[in-house]
Amino acid sequence: MKEETTAILLRIFVGESDRVNGKPLYQFLTEYLKENHYAGVTVLRGLTGYGHASKIHTANILTLSSDLPIVIEIVDYENRINELKEYLDDNNIIECGLITEEKVNIIRYGKNNS
């Protein structure tokens, strides 16, 4: 069985050392999203990257960084993503980072597509 729909993919680019209430930001957001029944989240840890400060962070053993890039990908309907962005802004969750957003087509396979 196959179901197709459209949604929004929100990507949040932050550093591994970013924290909220003592927790890593990516963990805090994952827990918040699950508690609030968002459709899906994936956290990706980058091997290397740099941001606005142009400082390269890498997982290379010779220059191991303690602040590797993290990408948090959230997929849900547009109204839910707008609610999330409002929550992030109202509560100053992201001190330094970048957010991108795009419409995506979702193709879901399986019996439980509800």
Average model confidence (pLDDT) across the chain = 88
Number of domains in the chain: 1
**What is the C-alpha to C-alpha distance for residues 37 and 103, in angstroms, rounded to an integer?**
20
pLDDT digits 0-9 by tens, 62-107: 555 567 889 999 999 999 999 999 999 999 999 999 999 999 999 9
Would you say residue 113 lies in a domain?
Answer: no
Range of the domain at 25: 2-107
Q: What is the pLDDT of residue 49?
A: 72
Q: What is the pLDDT of residue 106?
A: 93
**What is the C-alpha to C-alpha distance for residues 85 and 110, in angstroms, rounded to an integer?**
30
Neighbours of 113 (CB within 10 A): 11
Whole-structure pTM value: 0.83
CATH number at residue 82: 3.30.70.120
3-12, 40-49, 67-76: which has the minimum mean pLDDT? 40-49
- Average pLDDT score over residue span 14-42: 96
Would you say residue 28 lies in a domain?
Answer: yes
- Average pLDDT score over residue span 12-26: 94
Would you say residue 48 lies in a domain?
Answer: yes
- Average pLDDT score over residue span 23-50: 93
Residue 29 reports pLDDT greater than 90:
yes
Of the chain, the percentage scoring pLDDT greater than 70 comes to 82
Would you say residue 114 lies in a domain?
Answer: no
For residue 7, what are the contacts with CB-CB under 8 A and spacing of at least 6?
39, 75, 76, 77, 78, 103, 104, 106
